[in-house]
Structure 1
C-alpha cells in the first residue's frame, strides 16, 4: 500500500452558472466521506479555490476547511503574490496546498522565448506550496524522462549537483527549505 487516493477539481473550474463552487465542494466532500466509510481508508478531494480576488479565495478556502477537506488547490495563473499568500494561509490553517500549473505551457514550451518549468518549480518551492503538477513521461503534461527527473529533483532534494542531462546547470543548496511533492495526474 502507499500513495494518495485523491480526486481533484478540474483546473478550469471555479464557479460557473452550471456548477457553483459551494455546491461542488459539498457534493465532493459527501462523496469523499462515503468513500472513507465504505473502505476505511483515507480519501480526499482537491478543492479548487481559484477565484478573481483574494477575498473570494479566502472565502472558498475557509468553507473547504469547515466542511472537512485537508487540501485545497490553486492555479498558477493567479500570480505569484496570490500563490504565496495562499501558501501562508494554508500553513496557518493546517491545510495542504496543491498548485496546478494551468497556463504554464504558454511560456515554458516556447522554443524561442519563455522559461523552463524548472524555474517555476524553484519559485513555487520558495513560495511554500505543498504539491505541484510536475509532469510525467507520458500523457498531457509529458516531457523528456531526464527533464522530468530534473523537475522532481528540484522539488524534492535538499542539495542539487550539476546534472546537464537533467537540465540542472548549477549547484543549488536548498538548506532547510521545505520540499514540494511532485504530482502526476
Structure 2
C-alpha cells in the first residue's frame, strides 16, 4: 500500500512473465544483466515488483515494429496482458519528472515489447502528501464564483485569435452582461503580437471589475499564460495584480516541472488544458491513458482539468469522457485529502448535451463550457447563456428538455438551431 503501482497494457511475443520482470528491473534497480554493486540488500530495498499479470488476448502480427524482435526472428503469437508493477517511492523522492520517467521512460523502447500503454497509476496517500493540493479545486472554485448548486457555465473567447485587446474586452463585457460564470482563452491564444497579455489582461480585468462592483458577481477569466516558466510566473503576477483569479496553461507543451513551478509561485486557480493529449492516448497499444496522465498533473497542483465533451467534435467516446470526469472528481489517493479537481467539459457543447454531461459527472460539480453553444445561439450570447440555465432548471426538476422548451424560448431556439446540426 505504500508503493506507487503502475498499470500497463503490454504486448510481446516473448514470455509475459519474463518481459514483465524485465520492465520492473529496467525501471528500478536492474538492467538486462546483474551488475557489480547490485546486492541482494539493494534489490530488496529498491527493486520494483511485478504484482500481477492478466492475459487478455493475442494477435498474429505485432502492433508496433521492433527491430529487436525482427533480429531475433521471433514470430507470433503476440500476447497481450495487463501488468501491474509496484515501485518504491524511495527510488523517486518528491520528484515529479522522475516519477514520470520511472513509470514510463525507457519502457516504450524495450526491444521485446511490441505494444505498451500506461493505463493508470495508484498513488499512496503518504506519497500524495509530498505534493501540493489544488489552490481552489472544486469547492474553492464554487466559492470564488458564488455558484453553489449547479454547473459552472462558461465559454471560450472566439474567434480563437486575431482580436485586439479592446475587442476581446468588449466581448467579455457582453458575456458578463449575459450572466456567464467562466470565460477562458483559447489554447492557441497566449501572448500574440496583436493582443499581448500585458495589454489584454488589464483591458479584460477592468471589465470584470466593473461588473463585480455593479452586481457583486465575480466572473472567472482563465488567461492563457502558456510560455516558458519565468514568463508564466510574470504573467500570473500580472493577472493577480489586476484582481484575476485564474490562469490557464497547455500542460503538454509546458511540462510537469513548469506546472509545479507555477503552482508554487501563485495561489491563482490553474485551469489545465490537455491539448495534444490525443498524441499520447489515441493508439490502443501505445502511450498513456487519462487515468495515469491526470494523476501526474494533479500532483503538480492543478485545479481544473479538461475532459472533452459528450457528443462533441473530438474523438472521445461517451464512456471515455465519463471515465475522465469521474477520475477528476475522485480523490487521487485512497484515504488521502480532498484533492478533487473540477472537470471541464468542452468541444461542441450546448444545452442539448447537458443531460448526458450531468450523468457522466454524477452531479453538477463540473464546468460546462460552450463556445458556439453560447456565442452562436441564433438569438445571441445572452440567449445562449439563458438556454443553459433553462436546461438546468428543467433537468434539476426531473423534466425532459424537449417538453420543457415549450415555455422556455432560449432553450427552444437552441434545440431548433443546434439540434438540427
Cα distance in 1 for residues equivalent to 2:337 and 2:299: 11
Cα distance in 2 for residues equivalent to 1:42 and 1:132: 21
Residues 40, 177 of structure 1: CA spacing in aligned structure 2 closer, same or farther, 3 A cutoff?
closer
User: Are residue 54 (structure 1) and residue 202 (structure 2) matched?
Assistant: no
SS at match of 1:74: strand
Residues 69, 143 of structure 1: CA spacing in aligned structure 2 closer, same or farther, 3 A cutoff?
same
Q: Which residue of 2 aligns with 1:23?
A: 199
Q: Which residue of 1 aligns with 2:255?
A: 79
Cα distance in 2 for residues equivalent to 1:11 and 1:68: 22
Unmatched segments (≥5 aa) in structure 1: 160-171
Partner deviation per Cα, 1:130-159 (whole Å, 9 max, x = no partner): 111122212234622222222122222137
Residues 31, 2 of structure 1: CA spacing in aligned structure 2 closer, same or farther, 3 A cutoff?
farther
Contact 2:311–2:318 (CA<8 Å) still a contact in 1?
no
Residues 143, 104 of structure 1: CA spacing in aligned structure 2 closer, same or farther, 3 A cutoff?
same
Q: Which residue of 2 aligns with 1:2?
A: 150
Structural RMSD (CA): 2.1
- 2:283 corresponds, among 79, 96, 110, to 110
Cα distance in 2 for residues equivalent to 1:132 and 1:32: 23
Cα distance in 2 for residues equivalent to 1:101 and 1:34: 32
Structure-to-structure mapping, 1:134-149, within 5 angstroms: 134-141=307-314, 143-149=316-322
Partner deviation per Cα, 1:140-183 (whole Å, 9 max, x = no partner): 34622222222122222137xxxxxxxxxxxx626226111111
Partner deviation per Cα, 1:60-106 (whole Å, 9 max, x = no partner): 0101100000111111120111112212223xxx3111111122122
Q: Highest CA radius of gyration, 1 or 2? A: 2
SS at match of 2:195: coil
Unmatched segments (≥5 aa) in structure 2: 1-148, 153-180, 347-421
Count residues with an aligned counterpart. 169
SS at match of 1:60: helix
Cα distance in 2 for residues equivalent to 1:63 and 1:105: 32
Structure 1 outlier segments of 4+, above 4 Å:
none
SS at match of 2:222: strand
Q: Which residue of 2 aligns with 1:183?
A: 344
Cα distance in 1 for residues equivalent to 2:193 and 2:307: 31
Q: Which residue of 2 aligns with 1:153?
A: 326
Cα distance in 2 for residues equivalent to 1:174 and 1:63: 37
Contact 2:226–2:248 (CA<8 Å) still a contact in 1?
yes
Cα distance in 1 for residues equivalent to 2:229 and 2:331: 31
Cα distance in 2 for residues equivalent to 1:16 and 1:125: 28
Instruction: After superposing the two structures, state which structure 1 stretch, 57-66 or 110-119, moved more.
Output: 110-119
